[in-house]
Amino acid sequence: MLQHEFVSAAAIAASVLFILSLGGLSNHEKAKRAVWYGIVGMAIAVIFTAMGPKIGGYGWMIPMMLIGGLIGAWLSRKVEMTEMPQLVAALHSFVGLAAVFIGWNAELERARVMAIRAAGVSFDGLSAFASTLAHKTPAELSFLQGEVVLGVFIGAVTFTGSVVAYGKLAGKIGGKPHKLPGGHLLNAAAVGLCLVLAIAYFNGAGFWTLVILAALAFFIGWHLIMGIGGADMPVVVSMLNSYSGWAAAAIGFTLSNDLLIVTGALVGSSGAILSYIMCKAMNRNFVSVILGGFGGPQGPAAEIEGEQVAIDAGGVASALNDADSVIIVPGYGMAVAQAQNAVSDLVRKLRDAGKEVRFGIHPVAGRLPGHMNVLLAEARVPYDIVLEMDEINDDFASTDVVIVIGSNDIVNPAAQEDPNSPIAGMPVLKVWESKQVFVCKRGQGTGYSGIENPLCFKDNTRMLYGDARSSIDSLVSMID
């Protein structure tokens, strides 16, 4: 009894720490402390769950925990910030697959308990989980079936969806949307078959229904995310984060683990809220996002006139020396080049010269929500000059120079000017309204999303080609 009380108290403490961690992440200055809240909360959760009543198999559990911990420590040191989005997607897939396996195992144990009850023999020798099931009423076991169906379905969708997201973010799968003939009808048919299988499962059809249901859900997850274009991958990562949370909550109900229920609900709800906020920022329909129904072209895009005009670092430095106000717009290209420290040096030198320097951050800049903010904080850029899109968008018209570093879609005027653009209607940073725009870019390609940007062809835009870090380092040395 005392052991159970300790576990319950630990669950409450861990839940409080997780809530504090989520709350603190909304503020730059509190973010580091918030991360430590999450680390301590997770340590408490793991340790006290392992010490819970009727928990055994430590000969297997402890080595697996040590191996997992060592792999996590190795990854944390090996993975660069540019690879963080695909790492997050990969971790989401683990949660989804765990939900599928736990759901399958729960059904096997439930069927075993039901068979023993029917035979009228002793329940001795059962696993801890099966022993818990043995004390449940038939109604409670039926409720467990509903938890199993939800866990398996959500987990399977999360698993394959996250694997595809990982592939797209890592460049192993093309960023353009791909759908099989039939599109949404295929997804709808698969969902309908899942519903039929769930009904059959509830009526005693057997374990095979869950296996086929999982296979169909694997297809749905794969097809949903394959149908989403690269420009929208930050929203996809956030959405899959929400899915993994709900999958974890379903696992918690199945295992009667209150802490897992709370943690999963926190992750699921916060991920859903973040996805909704990002959809508003991109002028996307939330339901359409959930159904994987965006990211494809709406029709033939408008023809782009003009040509891209290159400039060297000396020309950009000259414009910066003459400017009074400068706005820097970072994107994934800054992350790839690891140019954030060079950008920080440039900002410091420009501010020392008496110039007003600020950053314009789009809500979906990079490939992960908050990606640019983290990189700039790492480079010790002052928080007060890092502004969100809504805070700075009206100031571009009165700005002398804008430097765009590795951004494409978030500064693309086609979002407002071309109704046939794949990103039509998406709010963007209006950098083209400034007096001069310099775009730091590796080459003339369309970038990850495959969408051409008319900004690069405008009369007041010049292209600074090359590696972003080398380009910015060159500028730093030329600023008076």
Q: What percent of the chain has pLDDT over 90?
A: 28
Kindly indicate the confidence band of residue 222, based on its pLDDT and cuts at 50, 70 and 90: very high
Residues 118-161 pLDDT 10s: 777 666 666 666 677 777 777 777 888 888 999 999 999 999 99
Question: Are 68 and 94 within one domain?
Answer: no
Question: Are 45 and 165 within one domain?
Answer: no
Of residues 289, 287, 183, 291, the one with CA closest to residue 233: 289
Of residues 314, 378, 310, 392, the one with CA closest to residue 343: 378
Question: Are 99 and 214 within one domain?
Answer: yes
Kindly indicate the confidence band of residue 299, based on its pLDDT and cuts at 50, 70 and 90: low
Task: Give CA torsion, residues 165, 167, 171, 175, to 10 deg.
Answer: -50
366-383 burial code (b ≥16 CB/10 A, e <16): bbbbbbbbbbbbebebbe
Question: Are 373 and 426 within one domain?
Answer: yes
d(CA 65, CA 57): 12
> Is 48 inside any structural domain?
yes
Active-site positions read 409
Kindly indicate the confidence band of residue 300, based on its pLDDT and cuts at 50, 70 and 90: low
Question: Are 98 and 204 within one domain?
Answer: yes
The CATH number of residue 370's host domain is: 3.40.50.1220
Instruction: Give me the number of domains the chain comprises.
Output: 3
The three-state secondary structure class of 371 is: helix
**Type of residue at 218:** F
More confident residue, 21 or 421: 21
Which among 57, 78, 99 is the end of a domain? 78
At residue 471, the pLDDT reads 92
Which among 78, 95, 123 is the end of a domain? 78
Kindly indicate the confidence band of residue 28, based on its pLDDT and cuts at 50, 70 and 90: low
> Is 304 inside any structural domain?
no
The three-state secondary structure class of 330 is: strand
Question: Are 213 and 139 within one domain?
Answer: yes
pLDDT (average), residues 285-292: 66
More confident residue, 84 or 44: 44
Question: Are 68 and 109 within one domain?
Answer: no
Question: Are 184 and 229 within one domain?
Answer: yes
d(CA 316, CA 126): 73
Question: Are 191 and 328 within one domain?
Answer: no
pLDDT (average), residues 306-316: 89
> Is 221 inside any structural domain?
yes
Which among 31, 58, 78 is the end of a domain? 78
Strands 401-405 and 386-388 turn out to be unpaired
> Is 32 inside any structural domain?
yes
> Is 147 inside any structural domain?
yes
At residue 291, the pLDDT reads 65
CB 221 within 8 A of CB 157: yes
At residue 391, the pLDDT reads 92
- What is this structure's pTM? 0.78
The three-state secondary structure class of 69 is: helix
- Lowest mean pLDDT across 20-29, 337-346, 412-421, 459-468: 20-29
The CA-atom distances, in angstroms, between 16 and each of 6, 51, 329, 434 are: 15, 20, 37, 47
pLDDT (average), residues 167-191: 81
Kindly indicate the confidence band of residue 295, based on its pLDDT and cuts at 50, 70 and 90: very low
At residue 296, the pLDDT reads 47
How crowded is residue 330: how many other Cβ atoms within 10 Å of its Cβ?
31
pLDDT (average), residues 171-186: 78
Kindly indicate the confidence band of residue 404, based on its pLDDT and cuts at 50, 70 and 90: very high
Question: Are 94 and 129 within one domain?
Answer: yes
At residue 420, the pLDDT reads 79
The CA-atom distances, in angstroms, between 125 and each of 110, 113, 129 are: 15, 12, 11
pLDDT (average), residues 444-460: 77
Question: Are 369 and 468 within one domain?
Answer: yes
> Is 302 inside any structural domain?
no
d(CA 33, CA 309): 46
CB 228 within 8 A of CB 290: no
Residues 51-81 pLDDT 10s: 776 677 778 888 988 898 898 888 878 877 6
Question: Are 328 and 396 within one domain?
Answer: yes
- Residue 247 belongs to what domain range? 83-290
- Give the H/E segment covering residue 335: helix 332-337
